[in-house]
Amino acid sequence: MSLSNQDKNNKDSLLFEYPQQENIRSYLRLESLFKQFQRNQLASNQDNHFHALKILFEILEILERGDTRSELIKELSRLVEYFQALEANPQVDSSKLINFLKQIQALNQWVNRYKGKFGDSIRKHPFIETVRNRAVIPGGLCQFDCPELHVFLNNPHTNRQQMLTEWMDDIKGVETSIEVILRLIRDTSQWSTQRAPLGSFMLETTDQPFKLLRIRKLAATNIFPEFSCGKHRSSIHFMTFNHCQKKMPANSEIEFELACCY
C-alpha cells in the first residue's frame, strides 16, 4: 500500500497498487524502502537509525540481485525519445518540457555512467560489510556480537545522519529515477468509480497491457483487494476479516475507484 502526492487529499481512503510487470514490482518495493529510509534517517532516535541501516541493507540486496540498472537505462532512454518527440508539438509548454527533458537526460547519463552494480561502493564499506554480515543472524546485532554498530549508534545523532546521507547519496540517482518513472506511470490514468457485485470485479486486458492497477476505496474500512492477473483478464476480489482475524471474501457489493496505468 502506498500514497502518492495526487492522493494525499483523500485522507479517508486507502490506496492499493498492484504491479502488472516485474520491473514495476521492483520499483514499488524500492520506492517503499527509500521512503522508509528517509523517514528513519531524518529522526534523531538511535532506534530509527538502527532501522534505517536495516532498510539500507534491504535496498542493497534488491539492487544486487536484480537487473535494475538495465531496466532503468531502457525506461529512461524511452522517456528521452518520447519527450524529445513532444518538442515539435505546439500545444506543449516548451519551457516546462525542456526542464523536464533535461532532468530525464541527466538521470539517463547518471545511470549509464555508474560503474558496476548499484551500491557496490556501499557494500564494500568496512562498517557496512561487517554489520550487514551480522544482520542475517537472528540477534546478531547485539552489542557483544557487533560492537561496531554499538559505537555507531552512540555517535551524536547529527553524525549518524550525515553518515547515512553519504551512503545513500551513492544511489540517489536510482531513487530519483524510480520516483520520476512511477510518477509518469501514475499520471497516465484517470480515476473511475466502479462496483464489484458480491465483492468481485473482472477487468479485461486490452491490446496495450497495463503496467499498474490502482484501487482507492471511498472510505477507510477493513476491506482490502486481492488481485489475480492473467494474460487476457485480471480479477479483483475484495476480502475482509472475520472475528478470528482470518481473511474471507467480502461477499457484498463494493464501490471503489479504479485507475489503470499504461
Q: Which residues contact 51 (CB under 8 A, 6 or more apart)?
A: 36, 40
In total, the chain counts a number of residues equal to: 262
Instruction: Give the model's pLDDT for residue 247.
Output: 93
* Residue spans per domain, the chain: 22-186, 192-261
Instruction: Give the model's pLDDT for residue 220.
Output: 59
How far apart, in whole angstroms, are the C-alpha atoms of residue 146 and residue 127? 10
User: In the block, which residue shows the cell 477493513?
Assistant: 222
Instruction: Give the model's pLDDT for residue 39.
Output: 97
Q: pLDDT tens-digit profile of 55-78?
A: 999 999 999 987 899 999 999 999
Task: Tell me if the domain spanning 22-186 has CATH number 1.10.287.70.
Answer: no
Instruction: Give the model's pLDDT for residue 230.
Output: 72
Q: pLDDT tens-digit profile of 12-52?
A: 678 999 998 999 999 999 999 999 999 999 999 999 999 99
Determine what percent of the chain is predicted with pLDDT higher than 90. 71
User: In the block, which residue shows the cell 506511470?
Assistant: 185
* CATH C-level class of 192-261: mainly beta
Give one DSSP letter per residue of 198-222, joined into a string.
Answer: GGEEEEE--SS--SEEEEEESS--S
